[in-house]
């Protein structure tokens, strides 16, 4: 029994989405590597660059990689289920769950690195009484 033309189109859409998903993940993985190499070169070359900048960019790219790696199979599974390719959709949904669970610590760490630290509390203000009964403020 030969598949119908509509089934072939659906399978073609799933194949195209798979190729695009893999290319996007590989591109982001390469970008992450390039940022790491750049940070390493700045650290060892005394380039004078802000050491937090490669870390911030790396966190953005790593978070994007996690969302792409886990979210891509979800999109492909939805397209497969909509095209009535149930087994294919189940495989991609399982892959999404596996990649999401595996990458969760990395995605969570990258998201945590992107949140700015809370501001440092300032020193207590106001005048303090000094020994000897002097109530003047320090410094004036």
Predicted local distance difference test score (pLDDT) of residue 91: 96
Predicted local distance difference test score (pLDDT) of residue 128: 60
Separation CA 86–CA 10 (nearest Å): 12
In sequence order, the 6+-apart residues with CB closer than 8 A to the CB of 77 are 88, 89, 90, 92, 93, 96
The two structure tokens encoding residue 70: 């886990």
CA angle 15, 19, 20 (to 5 degrees): 115
Separation CA 79–CA 77 (nearest Å): 5
46: confidence class by pLDDT, cuts 50, 70, 90: low
58: confidence class by pLDDT, cuts 50, 70, 90: confident
The two structure tokens encoding residue 67: 């969302």
23: confidence class by pLDDT, cuts 50, 70, 90: very high
The proportion of the chain whose per-residue pLDDT surpasses 70, expressed as a percent, equals: 80
Predicted local distance difference test score (pLDDT) of residue 49: 60
Predicted local distance difference test score (pLDDT) of residue 40: 79
Task: Give the tens place of pLDDT for each residue, 4-22.
Answer: 777 788 889 999 999 999 9
In a 3-state reduction of DSSP, which class is residue 63?
Answer: helix
């Amino acid at each position: 029994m030969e598949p119908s033309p509509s089934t072939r189109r659906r399978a073609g859409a799933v194949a195209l989405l798979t190729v695009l998903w893999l290319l996007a993940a590989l591109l982001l993985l390469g970008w992450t590597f390039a940022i790491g190499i750049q940070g390493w070169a700045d650290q060892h070359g005394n380039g004078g660059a802000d050491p937090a900048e490669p870390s911030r960019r790396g966190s953005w790219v790593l978070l994007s990689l996690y969302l792409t790696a886990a979210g891509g199979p979800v999109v492909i599974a939805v397209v497969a289920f909509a095209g009535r390719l149930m087994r294919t959709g189940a495989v991609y949904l399982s892959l999404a769950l596996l990649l999401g669970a595996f990458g969760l610590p990395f995605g969570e760490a990258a998201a945590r690195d992107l949140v700015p630290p809370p501001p440092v509390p300032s020193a207590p203000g106001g005048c303090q009484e000094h020994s000897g009964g002097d109530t003047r403020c320090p410094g004036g």
